[in-house]
Amino acid sequence: MPITPDYVRIADELEESIRSGKRTPHSKLPSLSELQKMFNVGSTTIQLVMVRLEARQLIYRHQGKGIFVSESEDWVIYPS
C-alpha cells in the first residue's frame, strides 16, 4: 500500500477544513512556522502544501499580511 506524502495529507486536511466551512472566506491561516509546528514537518513540506492549495485556488497570499482563504466561487473543483 503506497504511503501518502506529508504534503498531500496536510493539504487534504486543510482543504477539508476550508471546504467544510471550518475556515471561512478571507480568514487568515496560521503562519508557515505555526503550520510547521502544528504538523511537525519542515518548511519545504509546508511550501508544497501552500502551492497545492493555491493551485486549487483555495487560498491567496497577501504580501506582508499572510495567507487567507479564498471565496468559495473561486475554488477549483476536481472530479472524484
CATH code of the domain in which 69 resides: 1.10.10.10
User: What is the chain's Cα-based Rg?
Assistant: 12
The predicted pLDDT at position 79 comes to 58
Q: Would residue 62 count as lying in a domain? A: yes
What residues in the chain have per-residue pLDDT under 70?
1, 74-80
In a domain, 52, yes or no: yes
- So what's the pLDDT on residue 73? 75
Q: Which domain holds residue 49?
A: 25-74
Predicted structure pTM score: 0.87
Residue 80 covered by a domain: no
Is the residue at 19 inside a domain? no
pLDDT of residue 74: 64
Mean pLDDT of the chain: 91
State the helix-helix crossing angle for 32-39 and 6-19, rounded to 10 degrees: 110
> Using the 8-state DSSP alphabet, how is residue 80 labeled?
-
